[in-house]
Amino acid sequence: MKNLKLRGDIGLARMKYKFSFQEKKYDIDVDVCDTILKRAIGLMFKRKSKPLLFIFKKETRQPIHSFFCIPFIAIWFNKGKVVDIKKVMPWKPYIKPNKNFDSFLEIPSSSKYFFDFSSINMKRFK
């Protein structure tokens, strides 16, 4: 992971994450959730947050939840390509992508990027 920078006293990693979606290129400043604790907390209890990037060592279809979260967009990637995208509302116990992934991005509704993805046609990934 190049361009990874540590910030703050707890060493939260931050980086620019670049990807393309529907012929548009994105270069998003993200916080990296690269430990078990960071993955477990994610967006929980946060009113404002940068988008969070979760990176896995191998492909998975691990589900997520949205307890104690504000609405967010979940984008799952495999080898840098978008494999699924969902608008996630609070208090959903089980959200799972349609395909395996090796990383995913949570874009909270407090982020300027939320509206770029909230109106797309989600049926494309069904």
**Which tens digits make up the pLDDT trace of 70-93?**
999 999 999 999 999 999 999 999
- Between 34 and 14, where is the model more confident? 14
Task: Kindly report the CATH number assigned to the domain that includes residue 115.
Answer: 2.60.120.1140
Distance, CA of 99 to CA of 113 (rounded, Å): 23
**Range(s) of the domain holding residue 53:** 5-125
In this structure, the number of other CB atoms found within 10 A of the CB of residue 1 comes to: 10
Backbone angles phi, psi at 37, to 5 degrees: -65, -45
**Overall average pLDDT of the 19-41 stretch:** 87
Of residues 1 and 78, which shows the higher confidence score?
78
CA distances in angstroms from 80 to 37, 48, 64, 77, 118, listed in the order given: 24, 26, 20, 6, 20
The total domain count for the chain is 1
Q: How far apart are CA 117 and CA 107, in angstroms?
A: 9
